[in-house]
Amino acid sequence: MPLILVTNDDGIHAAGLATLAEALAELGEVWVIAPEREQSACGHALTLHRPVRPVEMGERRFAVNGTPSDCVNLGVLGFLPEPPVLVASGINHGGNLGDDVTYSGTVSASMEATLLGVPSIAVSLLDGGSLADAAAAARLVAMRVLVAGLPPKTLLNVNVPPQSPRGIRLARLGHRVYSDKIVEQRDPRGRSHYWLGGGEPVWAALEGTDMGAIHEGYVSVSPVQLDLTNHAAVARLADWGPALSAQLKGAGERRRQ
Ligand SMILES: [Mg+2]
């Protein structure tokens, strides 16, 4: 049986993690390596300043004092008896849509797997949705990935709507409109502190986006690529290189005078 690594950012005790592990059990030998406590919104953080230690919680099930990306590194780079053929991250409790994927520990685990050359899916369930619906979607997408593979340096970000899904739709990532304000409060000693991330997110045009698909009751599947280069801009800004070089040289000569 091929080996499948399951991780998350909600922690080893999250219901979504157990559901995802169970959903993929018929596709391979599932190993779970997940953070010992919740790491939501930790992004792509790696633990480099202290050792990480997997603690066995059950058969092929380990808790780690680290981040989702730590768990993927352990799983892919030698802790498991053989490298996994798939890394599945989730099922996150709450959506990971559009620009918010950059904060997401769930999606970052998939990014880490992709960078390490292992196909990966990240699965998130919007608040109020059914884990059974998310499990069914995750199993179908995972099976497809195992059979058909993925384009290079590309992961699939899957979000499941809060109602029973009408279908599955490929979608681009939407853009969030940053209308959030920070909320200032004072502590009993009169010092200010601030809450980030208050307020409902507002989204730009929904057409063709993951947010739009969710809005219409579909599971969204967004291929996310890890080449962050803006290739058009490399060409468009090409003359900046010689121009800045000349200025840099001029500044050096003035400094030496
Ligand atoms: Mg989470």
Is residue 183 in some structural domain? no
**Tens digit of each residue's pLDDT (9 = 90 or more) over 184-235:** 899 999 999 988 876 677 777 789 999 999 999 999 999 999 999 999 999 9
Q: What is the CATH number of the domain that holds 49?
A: 3.40.1210.10
Total domain count, the chain = 1
Q: How far is the CA of 209 from the centre of ligand 1 (A)?
A: 21
Provide the greatest CA pair distance for the chain: 73
Q: State the virtual CA torsion across 232, 201, 127, 164 in degrees, nearest 10.
A: -60
Is residue 166 in some structural domain? yes
C-alpha to C-alpha distances, 23 to 20, 35, 107, 216, 229, nearest whole angstrom: 5, 20, 19, 25, 35
Q: How far is the CA of 185 from the centre of ligand 1 (A)?
A: 26
Q: Bridge-partner residues for 231, per DSSP?
A: none
Q: What percent of the chain has pLDDT over 70?
A: 97
Q: How far is the CA of 229 from the centre of ligand 1 (A)?
A: 27
Q: For residue 116, give its domain range.
A: 3-175+205-231
pLDDT on residue 180:
66
pLDDT on residue 51:
92
pLDDT on residue 198:
67
pLDDT on residue 136:
98
Is residue 73 in some structural domain? yes
**Tens digit of each residue's pLDDT (9 = 90 or more) over 123-154:** 999 999 999 999 999 999 999 999 999 999 99
The pTM for the full model equals 0.90
Does residue 71 surpass a pLDDT of 90? Answer: yes
Is residue 210 in some structural domain? yes
Q: How far is the CA of 14 from the centre of ligand 1 (A)?
A: 9
Is residue 105 in some structural domain? yes
Q: How far is the CA of 5 from the centre of ligand 1 (A)?
A: 17
Is residue 243 in some structural domain? no
**Residue that is written with structure tokens 């292992």 in the block:** 118
Is residue 125 in some structural domain? yes
Question: Taking all residues of the chain, what is their mean pLDDT, rounded to a whole number?
Answer: 94
Is residue 239 in some structural domain? no
Q: How far is the CA of 57 from the centre of ligand 1 (A)?
A: 20
Higher pLDDT, 5 or 205: 5
Long-range contacts of 142-150 (CB under 8 A, 24+ apart): 142/4, 142/23, 142/24, 142/27, 142/86, 142/88, 143/27, 145/86, 145/119, 145/121, 146/2, 146/27, 146/28, 146/85, 146/86, 146/119, 149/119, 150/119, 150/223
Contacts of residue 87, Cβ cutoff 8 Å, sequence gap at least 6 = 4, 5, 6, 7, 72, 75, 76, 109, 110, 113, 118, 119, 120, 121
Q: What percent of the chain has pLDDT over 90?
A: 83
Question: Quick one: tokens of 29?
Answer: 């030998």
pLDDT on residue 59:
97
Q: How far is the CA of 211 from the centre of ligand 1 (A)?
A: 18
